[in-house]
A and B are shown apart, each in its own frame.
Chain A
Amino acid sequence: MEEEDPISVALKQEENISPNEAPRLSVGQWLRTNLFSNWANTILTILGALAAFLMLRGVLNFVFSENREWVAVRTNLRALMTLSYPESQYVRVWVALGFVVALAGLSAGIWANWGGLPLRRLGTWFMGVGGLIALCVLVREPSVLVDTEGKALLTLSGSLQRESFGAAMADRVNWWIAALVLFGFGIALWSRFSSAERRHIEWPITSIVYVGIGIAILTLWVVPYGHYAFDDGTYIAEPGTTVAFSTQMPWTVMWALLGLGFLLGKFLRSSRYVRMSKTGSNLLWLICPFALFWVVLRDPALDYGHVMSTDLPMGLAFGLLGAGALWLLTRSDIGEAGRIAATVLLVVAIFNWVAAFFGWYPMLQKARISFLLLAFAALLAPNFIGDVAKRRQLVLGWIGVMALVHYLATMINTPSTLDLQSDEFLGGLGLTLFVAVIVVVLSFPLGVLLALGRTSKFPIFRMLSTSYIEVIRGVPLISVLIFFSVMVPLFLPDGMELAELAAVLTGYTLFSAAYLAENVRGGLQSITKGQYEAADAIGLTAAQRTGFIVLPQALTVSIPQLVGQVISSFKETSLLAIIGLFDFLRVANSVIPAQSEFMGVKREGILVVAMIYFFFNFVISKYSQRLERRVGLGER
């Protein structure tokens, strides 16, 4: 029996969802077959509609209630984004964001053919939005009447006194106009592109999204969201003005960067450098968190003297001398001498740590770490004896590892000394996204390694990974976070500090990696024995087999779970509040309500925050569905 492979399944699904082939039912037919097919179904439909109606009305009443102070949210947009990150240093955040935005545009251009949206369908969307607005206007209860002091008036029977329906509709004339304009535009679009020959005219989805983002950014220039500033330790809110130029301009630049990145990506996609640029964009994504970390956290008064006199030379020395040593150790005539050299290195490396414990002689921590790594590399060296290509692999790998280790060590050892106006560092959505992105990017490779370890045929790797995963999965995230922010600094040897944020990121990454590993393991288990055998039979090495055959398929299979993990990492950043960081939710929940202008105004902010969380996760989830369908087809 041959199982149905995922690709043919995906192919079939693709056929089913193809919009052109599916037989279209008329609206009446559709209603009859799906909602009113028999009387039980009819009752369910009516009850469901009633529930939906009540829910929608409740939400609308809440949102448009006279008691809502939306101005608190509008005015505090900046607080929600970055909290009290010093204004003079804002350029760093913009640089970081600009980098990511341009890279995102680039990748979107290089990797995917996004396809088009028939303008006719776009018309129906506009009609839908217009209709929805009209529905909302109708459904919302007439406003409560208030007296001159703003207190709600009651009827004689004690219930709220509301204006008449007609007056309510007249009050909402702006909304009616909006609904009609959108609906009318939709109809115009729809009818213009309904004729047989125009039916298939499409607009690229990317252009539509890009225009949408553009309109959102345009509102910064025209809509009086209100302004917010943090000055001299106090929050100053200025409702009723448009946001500052220093906000409008950068966002506009971001928009331009996104577009330029995309155009460049598209150009590269059709050029002969596709493969190279795909690799390049992946590499950039990998480097990106480190670069951003540095851009955002960097100590303005970073001691470049120390970097030049110590950090850099040391990194270079380890990188180059180590590379030379490894080159020698992989000579084919090295024989027994190689093993002896490696053992000596290992003994020295371990002795360094012992010495650190007793405080015999001073040595920078990163030197100890590098030494130990060098010893391990020397032990591995016999596997790389052979042709030049193999030796070069080891040497280049070593240089890469050293660059990373020394970069990280220098960075983490240099906690930010930004001149903060309060205890709070970067906060708000900025912090949330920053943590989420870095955690996801870093935990990904770690999780994959753990999963490979857990399914490895070497018992020692299996044991280590399994116990790591089980231990981490056995404790709540919050305890890991507390452990890293409070306890770990106590254990670090002298002369090594861990900035709070770095500590938290480390803990969070280690935590998230364990869960990711389990998801990847699920994918690994779904790879058939035949794939391994075929890879072996054509002579791939174990590493090539893993990288080219096993992992790509395993990751594809586990896309839904991996995306779930990404989404939950993103949402759980809200736990950062517990260890004292001001994440997005905390700003809405405790910073805004503490401002004198908006004392106790909480619900509005929280609703907006929830919506933004939802928006991000919705986009991620939609994208993953798309991705699944595409890789399911095998296309890349």
Chain B
Amino acid sequence: MSEENKVPIIQFRNVSKFYPPHTYAVRDVNVAINSGEFVSIVGQSGTGKTTLVRLIIAEEHPTKGRVIVGGWDITNIRHGDIPLLRRQIGVVFQDFKLLPRKTVRENVAFALQVAGAARAQVREVVPQVLAIVGLETKMDRFPHQLSGGEQQRVSIARALVHRPKILVADEPTGNLDSINTREIIDLLVKINELGTTVLLVTHNRDAVNSLKKRVITLDQGIVSSDKQVGRYVL
């Protein structure tokens, strides 16, 4: 993390999300994440980690407080602007969300096509992002012909097609064994080193401890610790 990159790219200002009748998914969260950072978010199940992710991509709106992404206050984002926001944030989930009847190449291309990208752009970008995740030789396989780790790499490649400034990964290694987990974490570090801000939600103690990067710990919706070089402590 270099010194000149200290502009917050994600800001939670006093954010609470309340689900009636009596659940606070997150409560009074104040977090600023700078451009270029690699931040791990840890915490027990049901402590609001996914809720933070959903707030960043405007799938949920805060009950209180403000969410600012890339200087854009998305607290009350207009419905029609959500696609614009989503093209600036790559998202990866535990369950890959690949289309089983499309090849690797088609799965990645799909994200560009549905956003209205020109054919030439699709032809250019798809091999590039697949090279970043190291799958350039397996472009014509179907998801079921890939290992879990490879499938997750496809989904990371897809998240990168719009050249997002932010990559959010919600438990990307939850379905993977330790070797594949290692590879995915290394890949995320590599993507971070290429300049993308990475937000990693994880339960993986070893991964977090080996990263030696910033760790935000949630406890029942509240930020209980936020350390620049953190460890996985619950």
* A and B from one complex: no
User: What is A's interface to B at a CB cutoff of 8 Å?
Assistant: none
